[in-house]
Amino acid sequence: MADQYAEFWKLLKDIDYDYEPPVYDWSALEGRFPSLSIQSYGGACPLQSEGEIFGMPYYFRFRHGHATLSLSYDDNKIYLEPTYRAGVSFGDDLLGTLSDEEFIEIFTKLASEIEEQI
């Protein structure tokens, strides 16, 4: 039993605690949408992002091959009763994450659709 504890503690000592989160390059999106501010991005099944665009909070979600972008003047309604919502299917029904390039492409399409409605 003592050998198992020694192995466990050795594993803990070998962990790299200097983890740096990835840095994303959103310059293509920020160039197209100067008002864009991305506060969070990540995950899988669903991939989610939140921030602000066009002076409103946004929520982006991608799961089961379907992406939605929701915007609302009221933070409390952004998920269920957004002021604006656009959606698109991408890939197959099992797809739950996107590459950075795919996210930029889909976000641009959906934000452009909403921009036309505002």
- CB contact at 8 A, 92 and 38: no
Q: pLDDT at position 83, please? A: 95
Question: Residues in the chain with pLDDT < 50?
Answer: none
pTM of this structure? 0.80
Q: pLDDT at position 51, please? A: 95
Compute φ and ψ for 43, nearest 5 degrees: 100, 175
Q: pLDDT at position 12, please? A: 67
- Residue tagged 């039993």 (tokens): 1
